[in-house]
Amino acid sequence: MNMKEIILCYQGEMVLKGLNKASFESTLAKILRYRVKSCGNFKVYRAQSTMYIEPLDEFADVDEAYRRVSKVFGLAALSRAVVCDKNFETICETAEAYLGDALRGVKTFKVEAKRSDKTFPMKSPELCAELGGYLLSKHPHLRVKVKDPQMTVMVEIRDYGAYIHGPKTPGAGGLPVGTSGRALNMLSGGIDSPVAAYRMARRGLALHHIHFASPPYTSERAKMKVHSLAQIVSGYTGNCVLYVVPYTAPQEYIRDHAPDVLFTVLMRRSMMRIASRIAHEIECDAIITGESLAQVASQTLKALQCTDCAQDLPILRPLIGMDKSEITETARAIGTFETSILPYEDCCTIFTPPHPKTKPSVEEILEAEAAMPGLAELEEKAAAEVERIAVRQNEPVELL
């Protein structure tokens, strides 16, 4: 049987947004259109609060489109549906051909029908009862259960045809990327910062990444690893730019001019100043990091206070209250973990003293910075020499 499948997307939290609903929906439609563009010829449209993604010829890759759409924030659930002629017998046969296998795997089910084309001769309750009866005759082990069935067979009679839905799968949740503004994510090669990017994009932030590299202490491979991470999360975050800052000179300067025990906090403040400068240039309104309270010496409250006051943008730390095991679980789920654990050096871990101070005070930090008059100029130069790498979500990820 020739069955034409389409994808149905159900909105999540954004339906609550009242006034903004229209702009949220048009952003979401734009994102969906862009996401499936390179999977073939699709039409994306909206009816009530559901988005429809319909292939326009047999070359369109519905499987790949479904995989991509399941990463689009703003969707609570997805399902596939088949479209057939609006004829009761055809509807029965199509439902059985399309959902028969799924029905064999459950014990309880119900049929729900919606009829927006009022010229269709059967009313919804009648269609439910008759189709339910037909499916029961094919699967005598089944029982109809109106409340909480294991599976719901949905039939919608629309102008263009009859739509028969399969089971729903969870969508990516959250809000469409871009509806909450834009931020700059500090991306290291580690496990945490790609997860931080994912979590903030899920709250509707569009983002770019910034990475600090210190060649020759950090290698070209380490930079490629960060690029791959940005590309993996781009399935969620959308197209973006990875800004790579040549950080060797400021870092060596701090090493040579500051007390060892303050090195890490001073370096983190310096990185924040550069990130902030670039964020302002590219109109990002916040900085995101993968910091988690007390994970390392630079993530104590005192150390965070010192990094916070290095510049004026809000610093978003979505992982602040998460355990490493929870962060790792998310990293696995979004596909960044395997790349994150590749053993390449990060500039944050070179020159680190064996016993960094865990409770630095802002006064001693400012004093140490006053003794580094040459740092500002080196930071300015590093920011000016930043390299821009385009990260495009519809391109296949090249894993290292």
Residues interacting with ligand ATP, by CB under 6 A?
Answer: 186-188, 190-193, 210-212, 289-291, 295-296, 298, 346-348
Output the residue with the shortest Cβ distance to ligand ATP.
190
* Token pair listed for 189: 């090669």
Smallest distance, Å, CB 73 to ligand ATP?
A: 20
Does 190 interact with Mg ion (rule: CB under 5 A)?
A: yes
For 362, the token pair is: 């802002």
Shortest distance (Å) from residue 348 CB to ligand ATP = 4
Q: CA 36, 41, 47 angle in degrees (round to 5)?
A: 70
Question: Of 156 and 192, which CB lies nearer to ligand ATP in the complex structure?
Answer: 192
Q: CA 377 → CA 166, 308, 343, distances in Å?
A: 61, 21, 32
- Kindly report the number of other CB atoms within 10 A of residue 17's CB atom: 15
Query: Where is 77: in which H helix or E strand?
Result: strand 75-84
Q: How far apart are CB 190 and Mg ion at their closest, in Å? A: 3
Q: CA 33, CA 24: separation in Å to the nearest integer?
A: 14
C-alpha–C-alpha distance, residues 165 and 153, integer Å: 6
Interface stretch with Mg ion, choices 4-12, 106-114, 339-347, 359-367 (CB under 5 A): 339-347
193 binds, among Mg ion, ligand ATP, none (CB under 5 to 8 A by kind): ligand ATP
Q: Closest distance between Mg ion and the C-beta of residue 311, in Å? A: 20
Residue 212 contacts which entry, ligand ATP, Mg ion, none (Cβ below 5-8 A, type-dependent): ligand ATP
Torsion of CA 225, 229, 234, 237, to 10 degrees: -140
Crossing angle of helices 301-308 and 263-281, in 10° steps, is 40
Q: Which does 91 bind (CB under 5 to 8 A by kind): ligand ATP, Mg ion, none?
A: none
Binding of residue 188 to Mg ion (CB under 5 A): yes
- In whole angstroms, the minimum distance from the beta carbon of 225 to Mg ion comes to 12
CA distance 16 to 23: 13
Region of 219-227, 269-277, 344-352, 353-361 interacting with Mg ion (CB under 5 A)? 344-352
Quote the least distance from Cβ 321 to ligand ATP, whole Å.
14
Question: Which residues contact Mg ion by CB under 5 A?
Answer: 188, 190, 346
